[in-house]
Structure 1
Amino acid sequence: MTDQAPKRATLYRMVMPEHVCPYGLKAKHLLETQGYEVDDRWLKTRAETDAFKAEHDVKTTPQTFIDGRRVGGYDDLRRFFGKSVPDPDATSYTPVIAVFAMTALMALAVSQSIYGTPLTMHAAEWFISLSMCVLALLKLQDVERFSSMFLNYDLLARRWVPYSYVYPFAEGAAGVLMTAGVLTWLSAPVALVIGGLGAVSVFKAVYIDRREIKCACVGGSSKVPLGFVSLTENVMMVAMAVWMGAIALGLMHG
């Protein structure tokens, strides 16, 4: 029984002192994980890269060749191996899921550190307040882009544009104060107002006007569709405000 001939591929990718193409590295790794021996050919200058593109009539690198046939760039290579290629314009709940999963773990970790158990009422409170902090952080990375997306659906921001700039600061401040358990007289009303207005705005846009737009909840570059998750975020904020306010008034025990 003869050994099977090794699979070979030729990869052309940019490797310059000032730039190493990340997709070239990904293509090389993908080929190797698929059992290919890679003839890794570096394009070391812009002139070499331009000459290669002109010779093969391609617009981008890296480019992979298998059995003398050009497969194409990194996305084409993924398709060649039957792997999915993300659509950059597709909507996705992944950013929100990532935020809530991380803040839930953070809340449980803090509870474990302080109380010796992750399962406490404070953990639930911290989950919401830390989520507010992280969501505010994402918005504050580019307030201008956030405000532009926010103006697509928020009712108050449409009447008073500065609110679209104030919102992330207010959300972040309320989240920090609620996490610390201080100045509840300030944090609870702020969360109640911005959460309540947000819930009404989302409900109107999605369930009454039936609009299909993206949510600004994780910042201005979000691909998260406006809908149930966005509504839940605001309802959680309102619930936290009511709960913290009730504790401050002595109606509940924290």
Structure 2
Amino acid sequence: MKQPRTAKLYRMVMPGHVCPYGIKSKWLLEREGYAVEDHHLTTRAETDAFKAEHGVKTTPQAFIGRERIGGYTDLAAHFGKPAKTEGTTYRPVIALFALMALMAAGAAYVATGAAFSLLAAEWFVSFSMVGLAYLKLRDVESFSTMFLNYDLLAKRWVPYGYVYPHAEGLAGLLMTAHVLDIVSIPLALTIGTIGAVSVFKAVYVEKRELKCACVGGDSNVPLGFVSLTENLFMIGMALWMLAKPALL
């Protein structure tokens, strides 16, 4: 019988702390078919002694044969599986819009018995506004700083960068509940229009390559179509709510 490949892993497993990257390293090695010799570093002194012996600054440390691979990030790269996404990515907004669409369909089904309806479409937009506002409000300081790279009003009036996510969230909540249209419609129309013009100018006129603050200040989403879509959604929702009484 073929013997399984073996690897050694040294990781912190202390009474008050078990290193999460150590757990992930063990899981990754086992997933790749390795039998893991799992060595626990159970005290701070033991951990410091291990680091000094091997000339490393962090744990966990994985060894395959006589080769030291390194920590979880190094191990993931060794197996061709980057531990984190490098460069720009649309993944956060794809995930958000997909979840908001499913949530809107589910809520509309419970409310009316129809998952695909005008109500579901309205809730998709309003839920997305609230979700995007939440992502900005996680760290409004970082958001407002990134926002200053391209928003025309924020560049002239810095507090607007702090106001924007609150305004977007409020408009989304009011539109979800279908109350206080006199507040939500002008709010969404104003911030949506300013945002659309700002993005269009920065990306399509000035040809600047920037990161979008639409999903927060730590975003790797490129500024462009996604942020423009966010603002066009708000404009479209506001115009629809204005026209809706006459059309239905």
TM-score (ref. length: structure 1): 0.94
Inter-partner Cα distance in structure 1 for 2:159 and 2:64: 56
Q: 5+ residue gaps in structure 2?
A: none
| Equivalent residue number for residue 55 of structure 1 | 53
| Equivalent residue number for residue 205 of structure 2 | 208
| Equivalent residue number for residue 185 of structure 2 | 188
Number of residue pairs aligned between Structure 1 and Structure 2: 248
Inter-partner Cα distance in structure 1 for 2:220 and 2:80: 25
Asked if the contact 2:72/2:83 (under 8 Å) is kept, the reply is no
Residue 82 of structure 1 and its aligned partner are, at CA, apart by 3.0
Inter-partner Cα distance in structure 2 for 1:49 and 1:87: 29
1:51-200 matched pairs, under 5 angstroms: 51-88=49-86, 90-200=87-197
Pick aligned residue for 2:246 from 217, 231, 251: 251
Comparing 7-16 with 122-131, which one deviates more in the overlay?
7-16
Q: Deviations over 1:31-56 (max 9, x none)?
A: 11122211110111222111111111
Residue 244 of structure 1 and its aligned partner are, at CA, apart by 0.6
Inter-partner Cα distance in structure 1 for 2:75 and 2:202: 40
Inter-partner Cα distance in structure 2 for 1:244 and 1:103: 20
Asked if the contact 2:9/2:37 (under 8 Å) is kept, the reply is yes
Inter-partner Cα distance in structure 1 for 2:157 and 2:77: 48
Comparing 58-67 with 77-86, which one deviates more in the overlay?
77-86
Inter-partner Cα distance in structure 2 for 1:227 and 1:58: 42
Inter-partner Cα distance in structure 1 for 2:131 and 2:217: 14
Inter-partner Cα distance in structure 2 for 1:219 and 1:37: 41
Asked if the contact 1:91/1:223 (under 8 Å) is kept, the reply is yes
Matched, 1:227 2:224: yes
Residue 86 of structure 1 and its aligned partner are, at CA, apart by 2.9
Comparing 140-149 with 106-115, which one deviates more in the overlay?
140-149
Q: 5+ residue gaps in structure 1?
A: none
Inter-partner Cα distance in structure 2 for 1:244 and 1:21: 51
User: How much is the aligned-residue C-alpha RMSD, in angstroms?
Assistant: 1.3
Pick aligned residue for 1:27 from 15, 21, 25: 25
TM-score (ref. length: structure 2): 0.96
SS in 2 for 1:65: strand
Residue 100 of structure 1 and its aligned partner are, at CA, apart by 0.6
SS in 2 for 1:152: coil
Matched, 1:4 2:2: yes
Q: Deviations over 1:164-192 (max 9, x none)?
A: 11111110110001000111121111100
Asked if the contact 2:11/2:60 (under 8 Å) is kept, the reply is yes
Asked if the contact 1:185/1:245 (under 8 Å) is kept, the reply is no
SS in 1 for 2:246: coil
State the percentage of identical aligned residues. 63
